[in-house]
Structure 1
Amino acid sequence: MLFKNRLDKLHQRAAYEVKNREYVKAQNTYLECFALDPKDIGTMNNLAQLSNILGEEDKARGYNEMLLEECDERLKSEKTEELLILKSNALVSLKRNDEAIEVIDELLEISPDHILGLFHKAQYLELNGEYEKSLQYINRVLTNDYFNVPALLSKGRVLSELNEFERAEKCYDFVFKLETKNKAAINLKSQLIKKQHGYVLTSHDLMLKAIESWDRNDLKSAEKYFKKALDIDSSHDEIWFAQGELFIRMGKIADAIASFKKAFELNSISGGISKKKEFFKMLNVMLKINRLLGYEKE
């Protein structure tokens, strides 16, 4: 019991560290887990993923090979969804995609609506240029999980390959309602616009630079990139909305309100916010407090 409690606490700590992007700390915590239980497949999988994130390709390969060996050993006596998913993860990471899809097909025989299984199948088909088939599997994922961001991004990519640009753009725009600063959606929408119009530089390229600056806590540079993005093209509500969020972070509430108003003019539910009255009421309260404190002028 003490052993299990210790292991559970370590797993909880590692998960918290991953959530906070403290990847080196998380890796060390999972290594403690691994020392306590070298056969734990979840720990092997997490160590492999963290090694990839940290750019330690040899370590990632080693953990994936250990994971694959352990999964194969356990699959001799039992065939479970967890084992098949983890085995497929290891095979994909090791770039053994044809073997991985055989495992995914086994999983879908056991559980036809398994979300991750359907998603992996869709990705495999996309990589092989079978876009129509890939779309069928993505739609099955989204039928069961309408707000699945990776699936929405994949659907946008596939639709773009099928030259269905308007539908692809709607996928990315829906992602912006769920995650207003999603870098993958920003990049993919930029690629889509370039493909449609042959542009070399888009407003979304500069939006991405703004978000990257924001992530580095370089808020002044982020503000400049947002301005440049809107100078190129001011017709995208997600850029106005993200700029508004930046202004809140900078304490510029009046500027934030103006940016959000422009976003809502372009899209009445920009940022996924449908009750704008309550939203602006909150912002106006923040503005009054700022003015009372002398941070902003009338």
Structure 2
Amino acid sequence: MRMNEHFENHRAVLDTVRRFERMVAQHESVFFDLEDFENIIDHYVTNAEFDKALQACEAALGQYPFSTELLIDRAQVTAMRGDYTEAERQIDHVADLDPTNADVAVTRGIISTQRGEFAQAVDFFRAGLEQEPEREDIHFNLGLAFQSWQKFKSAAKHYKQSLRLNPDNETGVQELLHCLDITARLEEHEAFFQRFTDDDPYSATAWYNLGQYWYRREDFTKAAEAFDYAVTISADFYDAHHWLADTFVCQQEYLKAIPEFELAYPTGEPTDEALCNIGECYEKLRDWEPARRYYRQALEINPAMDEAWFGQGVLLQEQERWLEAIHYFRKATELYADSGEYWSALGAAENQVGNVVSALEAYEKATEVAPEDAQGWVSWSAILYEQGHFTEAVELVRHAVELHPHEAHFHYMLCAYLLADGRMREAYNTLETALTLSFDQHVLLFDYFPELREQPGLKRLIEQFRK
């Protein structure tokens, strides 16, 4: 399918979905043909809106009660919602009606995958392939089963076959790249993705997939080139515009990113994500007013968008309007409590206005939800150090050292805390490690803790390493 046809079909599907949703909202009875219902159900499944997908299945079966395809759709959606017993009952009924249908085995495979019975799932999917060996969706489901089973090489093999049969499967591209990344085999698959553009240089999808490959490789220049080809071939390829913008962001080319984010949605139909991304670009450019405007527009579309609340907090923080920033950071943590970044920002703002207890609580929460983030431990320890709780500060900054043992900065902080706690031998051992890792960074010790300039033993040790 040519890309312009793909987008025309996509727009038609969205129009059908909107018409169906209006019907449901207004309790109207509107006729859809079978293909329309299949498209509606597929749209909801693709977007993981399984309750809506089941609602569409029931509405469709109300008009086409003997459709085997719809009965299978309903069984698969029921499995995706986690109701495995009911899904099995439904697919057993389909098997009685049509025992040779390959989708019976596929549905049983989906149920087994959802249940974590991966070996059984693979057997079911392979049985389906024996009946219909060129089914790209069966290869894709085999990929998902193997991936869930932690067998990433086998998963990659089936994702690749799925993409050979259907290069338009964007989810398949992402899952394949993940499997190749986790098995450190990305580099050796350049030819696989390049071949699609060689076979059809006018395929926007092929260039888009190649862009995804280079993006995952963190070669943002080549990724941008590929995404640029995709949008040149198909100007309304919104996802490609989004990824092109994102590659510019990764290269800190925010002025280039902004117009691409503006093209990442149909005219007059901005998304909250695009508006928030534009706001962040203006924030990085330190252009506060348009940044604030775009963040607010994003919240008008989606008041529960935590990124936009956080972004407004960052704007205020950058302008040292700490008290106002607290409100926005708190709202962000209320909407998404699992972000260490949000809690750390809230802790910093609370500390700036003198709310030490609230700051400590925020940093404690930051380390609870993101223990792998060193910044939370460091910031928490710094407040304790300022409060004279040296032993506690030592224990906290040790977490940062454990997370980043080769980062001299954290060793220097630990040295200072140990000195303040009177643990001289440990402090000097830690300083030796820090000086070995980076002698030049020893000035940080005195930047953070100017009182240490008068420590004679410290000076002597530093001078020994200088020589």
- Tell me the TM-score normalized by structure 2: 0.36
Find out whether 1:75 has 2:203 as its counterpart.
Answer: no
Taking a change above 3 Å as real, the CA distance of residues 29 and 214 of structure 1, as seen in their structure-2 partners, is same
**C-alpha contact (below 8 Å) 2:143/2:154 kept by paired residues:** no
Find out whether 1:203 has 2:332 as its counterpart.
Answer: no
1:172 maps to which residue? 295
Shift of 1:146: 2.7
Find out whether 1:124 has 2:247 as its counterpart.
Answer: yes
1:187 maps to which residue? 310
Find out whether 1:8 has 2:137 as its counterpart.
Answer: yes
1:277 maps to which residue? none
Q: Deviations over 1:205-254 (max 9, x none)?
A: 22232233499xxxxxxxxx9xxx9xx9xxxxxxxxxxxxxxxxxxxxxx
Amino acid at match of 2:190: L
Q: Deviations over 1:91-129 (max 9, x none)?
A: 011111111122122223322332223223323333434
Judge which range, 32-41 or 155-164, deviates more: 32-41
How many correspondences in the alignment? 204
Taking a change above 3 Å as real, the CA distance of residues 34 and 104 of structure 1, as seen in their structure-2 partners, is closer
**C-alpha contact (below 8 Å) 1:155/1:168 kept by paired residues:** yes
Aligned Cα root-mean-square deviation (Å): 4.0
5 Å-filtered alignment, 1:94-105, equals 94-105=217-228
Identity of aligned residues (%): 12
Give the number of the structure with larger relative contact order, counting CA–CA contacts within 8 Å between residues 6 or more apart.
1
Give the Cα–Cα distance (whole angstroms) in 2 for the partners of residues 35 and 118 of structure 1. Answer: 29
**C-alpha contact (below 8 Å) 1:135/1:155 kept by paired residues:** yes
* DSSP 3-state at the match of 1:186: helix
Asked which structure has the greater CA Rg, the reply is 2
Give the Cα–Cα distance (whole angstroms) in 1 for the partners of residues 252 and 135 of structure 2. Answer: 47
Amino acid at match of 2:236: D
Q: Deviations over 1:12-69 (max 9, x none)?
A: 7999x9xxxxxx74x7699876555643334752324656xxxx9533x53x446533
2:270 maps to which residue? 147
1:40 maps to which residue? 162
**C-alpha contact (below 8 Å) 2:140/2:162 kept by paired residues:** no
Shift of 1:148: 2.4
1:252 maps to which residue? none
User: 5+ residue gaps in structure 2?
Assistant: 1-101, 103-130, 164-168, 340-345, 354-467
Shift of 1:84: 0.8
**C-alpha contact (below 8 Å) 2:279/2:295 kept by paired residues:** yes
Taking a change above 3 Å as real, the CA distance of residues 58 and 144 of structure 1, as seen in their structure-2 partners, is same
**Matching residue within 88, 91, 94 for 2:214:** 91
Amino acid at match of 1:174: Q
Taking a change above 3 Å as real, the CA distance of residues 163 and 13 of structure 1, as seen in their structure-2 partners, is same
* DSSP 3-state at the match of 1:105: helix
Amino acid at match of 2:280: R
Taking a change above 3 Å as real, the CA distance of residues 173 and 3 of structure 1, as seen in their structure-2 partners, is farther
Give the Cα–Cα distance (whole angstroms) in 2 for the partners of residues 37 and 133 of structure 1. Answer: 33
5 Å-filtered alignment, 1:252-267, equals none
Amino acid at match of 2:302: E
Give the Cα–Cα distance (whole angstroms) in 2 for the partners of residues 213 and 186 of structure 1. Answer: 13
- Tell me the TM-score normalized by structure 1: 0.54
Give the Cα–Cα distance (whole angstroms) in 1 for the partners of residues 189 and 267 of structure 2. Answer: 29
Amino acid at match of 1:69: A
Taking a change above 3 Å as real, the CA distance of residues 66 and 46 of structure 1, as seen in their structure-2 partners, is farther
**C-alpha contact (below 8 Å) 1:169/1:189 kept by paired residues:** yes
Taking a change above 3 Å as real, the CA distance of residues 37 and 94 of structure 1, as seen in their structure-2 partners, is closer
Amino acid at match of 2:257: S
User: 5+ residue gaps in structure 1?
Assistant: 18-23, 216-224, 233-298
